[in-house]
Structure 1
Amino acid sequence: MSEMLEKILAMKLVQQKDKDGRTPLHCAASIGYLEGVQILLDQSNLDPYQTASDGFCPIHVASMRGNVDIVKKLLQVSSDSIELLSKRGENILHVAAKYGKDNVVNFVLKEERLENFINEKDNGGNTPLHLATMHRHPKVVSSLTWDKRVDVNLVNDRGQTALDAVLSVKHPTTFDQALIWTALKSAGARPAGNSKFPPNRRCKQYSESPKMDKYKDRVNTLLLVSTLVATVTFAAGFTMPGGYNSSDPNVGMAALLMRNMFHMFVICNTTAMYTSILAAIILIWAQLGDLNLMDTALRFALPFLGLALTAMSLGFMAGVYLVVSNLHWLAIVVVIIGIICLVGLLVPFFLLFLPSKSTNRILRHISYYPFLILVWASKSPEMKRED
């Protein structure tokens, strides 16, 4: 490819633009062709500051595409590249934040010479944090809010902080909006209080209760699950592994009563039954029709239901282990599979409670990796392929 590029350059087409006003350097920066960028920069008659019809210089295009190596190369060639702004007054951090390129954002945050970019405003008064928020990029918002130099409460020309900007998204993706809200709140972000955004839209926070029907569907689903757990564990309490003694003096007593794994089975089964019943009772209260009561009931019922599912899984593992314990290798396999599946059960369950909105530094650190997992899970397959 480089040989072909050399031949094209010999035809003196280095300054030619296409219908969108893009030069060969724009195109090379867009596709991440680092070698081609270097060859083009070596041309004495090349102007690396030419703008396309959208107002982007090559360094803006590289930032938009997440080609961080090319951004570094263009900054090395000329210190003037640092000051380049698009027609909207956007620097490279604005562009990277707007298009969700966290690798470029992290690079800029680590560069001391680019420190002025962090809270710089574009022509609309938006900081990079505003743009990442409005364009729904939770990972970029997280990266920015973890940097102490970022002022999370700056306002734009519409009088909005980044927290207000969460509400200004015309067609929000609820989960992305929730993650962004969480990242901002944990960093101490506050609403401006004087936002020019219409009050009726400002009040519609993602954290407000959704429509009654959606809440009822969630409550009914959890109530069904808790009822099924209670039913299964109740039945397991009268069908003990190993059966019962049929001879004196222990008629009716469990045959494996003195085994340690049997003790574990009984304790786990009992725990699962009573916690699932407790969750069901709490969820029945949620059926009274009050949205605030529903929200409270869900927050209390979920931990009990999680404990019930965990205890039921452990009880199943203990019961199967008991009945196959004479075949040692099979008993070990049962335990290994049980532990692996239990971890698989606990991880997504705990993600329901994390990340935390608390500004406490310890809780923020605990929530960091769960937040990244949720960001990854929230992406569509198309977005993942594009990244």
Structure 2
Amino acid sequence: MEDKLFEACRKGDTATLLKLIEEDPLILEDSIGHASKETPLHLASLLGHTDFVRLILNQKPEFAKVVNRKGYSPMHLACANGHVELVEHLLKIDLDTGHELCRRRDNKGRTPLHLATIKGRVLVAGELLMACPESVMEVTEQKETILHLTVKNENGFKALRILVEKLNSKELLNWKDEEGNTILHLAAARKQHKVMKYLLSQSSLDMNAVNSKGLRALDIMLAGSRQSNDQEVVEKLSVAARLAKDDEKPLSKQPTHVQDNVIDMDSMVPTQKDPVESMSTAKSDDQDWLKEMRKGIMVMAVLISTVSFDVAINPPGGVWQDGVSVSNITKGIYSQRPGHSIMGEILPSSFIWFLVWDSIAFLASMSIIVALTSPSRLIGTTIRWGYVRLMMWVVIASVHMVFLYGVHMIIDWNVYSRAVILPFVFFYAVVGLFGLSTGWSMIIEWRNMAYEHWMKKNR
């Protein structure tokens, strides 16, 4: 008989249930008495058989309070599995019990709302909150609210936004779990950038809240492993935390006998800045500059690589257009091979150096593009940024040489010496000292970076 009852539960067969009750009016009481097993009501709630559950509860409404060995009531199972219609029916019964079902806890101290939140059942959570608004303040054994549980869900951003907007509770936004973590701490630890950006838009959120380890969300972001998309969140969090901290300047404690006649020393002694905050602010300013510089260098590198490629394909003086023949040009005899450079045969030495410097400019530009588009974060004190700066100098020098050899091949020497050589001599005389000082400073920077790397390695 019992096997038939559970088989009817699995199928949601209400006709069989009615027949079994007719044959044995105590069959439901007998099944509920087995506390070590799942009852038919739990099984039907788990599978979402609303009509079957409704039929059982019409016979015995008190069965809705029965829990299994894990402490789950039918409400727990229906909420965890997202059976909205079944939850609505159980909530109607819960009206007569003072929301006892809605606030009942399982063996781990979790309410049906907690389970719905953990599983991401947004519609079920909405029904529970409308029927029992006070359940929102129920916390788990770890003192976690439904907002904490939502942040822990990797796909909980949509649910979090709905909950924050509907609840509009400053207390919940800044609630701390047993480790002192707010939802902002949890989002920072999990690198949930989208969640953090949304939370930072909430004016009632405490940006400088510290957990039991004395860490703010900003400290967690700076201390953890860095990702390429961390910087935007760090900058926003740093600015928001700094603005919020302006209203939280603690007074220095003085002995009781001094406080009566003490002068306000805060106005006389400079305020010592938080070292982490100062570091993050400096990094933020440096990154802003690097972002703009990165864009400009990328445009320059793409442009020069394009021009150097075009110049190599279409060299100064053009290419032979006629068929294979022999032509006399200034006492020389040249083979007019179609597509071959004219200057490559007339001035082979200059043309070779022209191509050498053009190739260097092209390769250096391409290496800059590769360095700037690699996924790791660009920092002004890294060897990679030093490499980009070096390649910039190589590109500039190569473009100068390409210009000199290119112009030399297409104009007369007397014009070349006056119109090109003299301006270049003047230019390098003016900027030569600057170039030498810049190059020396780069050498010093690389030496310092190598020394710091060696020191860290040998600590």
Q: With the length of structure 2 as denominator, give the TM-score of the two structures.
A: 0.44
- Code of the aligned partner of 1:80: E
Go from structure 1 to structure 2 and tell me whether the alpha carbon gap of 1:112 and 1:61 turns closer, same or farther (over 3 Å shift).
Answer: closer
Which deviations, in whole Å up to 9, do the C-alpha atoms of 1:33-79 show, x marking residues without a partner? 21111111111345210112222211122222222222221111122
Written as runs of structure 1 = structure 2, the 5 A alignment for 1:201-280 is: 234=309, 237-238=312-313, 245-246=321-322, 274=361, 276-280=363-367
Alpha-carbon distance in structure 2 between the residues aligned to 1:180 and 1:283: 21
Structure 1 position 252, deviation (Å): 8.6
8 Å contact kept, 1:98–1:131: yes
- Code of the aligned partner of 1:158: K
Q: Does 1:80 align with 2:128?
A: no
Partner of 2:166: 111
Partner of 1:25: 75
Alpha-carbon distance in structure 1 between the residues aligned to 2:370 and 2:77: 58
8 Å contact kept, 2:147–2:160: yes
Which deviations, in whole Å up to 9, do the C-alpha atoms of 1:98-154 show, x marking residues without a partner? 223111210122125434311222232211111222234333222212323322221
Q: Which moved more, 1:49-58 or 1:136-145?
A: 136-145
Structure 1 position 82, deviation (Å): 2.6
Go from structure 1 to structure 2 and tell me whether the alpha carbon gap of 1:244 and 1:7 turns closer, same or farther (over 3 Å shift).
Answer: farther
Written as runs of structure 1 = structure 2, the 5 A alignment for 1:86-235 is: 86-100=140-154, 101-111=156-166, 113-166=168-221, 175=227, 179-180=229-230, 182-187=232-237, 188=239, 234=309
Alpha-carbon distance in structure 2 between the residues aligned to 1:56 and 1:108: 18
Partner of 2:85: 35
Alpha-carbon distance in structure 1 between the residues aligned to 2:198 and 2:87: 28
The alignment partner of 2:175 has SS state of coil
8 Å contact kept, 2:221–2:234: no
- Code of the aligned partner of 2:321: N
Q: Does 1:67 align with 2:121?
A: yes
The runs of 5 or more residues in structure 2 that have no matched partner are 1-48, 246-279, 284-300, 328-335, 340-357, 372-379, 393-459
Q: Does 1:49 align with 2:106?
A: no
Alpha-carbon distance in structure 1 between the residues aligned to 2:167 and 2:389: 46
Alpha-carbon distance in structure 1 between the residues aligned to 2:135 and 2:167: 15
The runs of 5 or more residues in structure 1 that have no matched partner are 193-204, 209-225, 255-270, 285-290, 304-387
Which deviations, in whole Å up to 9, do the C-alpha atoms of 1:177-220 show, x marking residues without a partner? x545641332326699xxxxxxxxxxxx9xx9xxxxxxxxxxxx
Aligned to 1:296, which of 385, 395, 412?
Answer: 385
Partner of 1:6: 54
Alpha-carbon distance in structure 2 between the residues aligned to 1:301 and 1:74: 63
Which deviations, in whole Å up to 9, do the C-alpha atoms of 1:214-243 show, x marking residues without a partner? xxxxxxxxxxxx9xx979x74994389xx9
- Code of the aligned partner of 1:41: L
Go from structure 1 to structure 2 and tell me whether the alpha carbon gap of 1:281 and 1:109 turns closer, same or farther (over 3 Å shift).
Answer: closer
Where relative contact order (Cα < 8 A, 6+ residues apart) is larger, the structure is: 1
The alignment partner of 1:125 has SS state of coil
- Code of the aligned partner of 2:364: I
- Code of the aligned partner of 2:194: K
8 Å contact kept, 2:368–2:391: no
Go from structure 1 to structure 2 and tell me whether the alpha carbon gap of 1:296 and 1:129 turns closer, same or farther (over 3 Å shift).
Answer: same
Higher Rg: 2
Q: CA RMSD in A?
A: 4.7
Structure 1 position 278, deviation (Å): 3.1
Alpha-carbon distance in structure 2 between the residues aligned to 1:112 and 1:244: 79
Written as runs of structure 1 = structure 2, the 5 A alignment for 1:308-387 is: none
Q: With the length of structure 1 as denominator, give the TM-score of the two structures.
A: 0.51
- Code of the aligned partner of 1:295: R
8 Å contact kept, 2:181–2:210: yes
Go from structure 1 to structure 2 and tell me whether the alpha carbon gap of 1:6 and 1:186 turns closer, same or farther (over 3 Å shift).
Answer: same
8 Å contact kept, 1:133–1:180: no
Structure 1 position 299, deviation (Å): 6.5
8 Å contact kept, 2:200–2:240: no
- Code of the aligned partner of 1:123: E
Alpha-carbon distance in structure 2 between the residues aligned to 1:272 and 1:38: 74
Alpha-carbon distance in structure 2 between the residues aligned to 1:147 and 1:299: 40
Go from structure 1 to structure 2 and tell me whether the alpha carbon gap of 1:293 and 1:17 turns closer, same or farther (over 3 Å shift).
Answer: same
- Code of the aligned partner of 2:81: I
The alignment partner of 1:48 has SS state of helix
Alpha-carbon distance in structure 2 between the residues aligned to 1:293 and 1:168: 18
Go from structure 1 to structure 2 and tell me whether the alpha carbon gap of 1:19 and 1:164 turns closer, same or farther (over 3 Å shift).
Answer: farther
Partner of 2:35: none
Alpha-carbon distance in structure 2 between the residues aligned to 1:155 and 1:244: 75
- Structure 1 runs of 4+ aligned residues shifted over 6 Å read 251-254, 281-284, 298-303
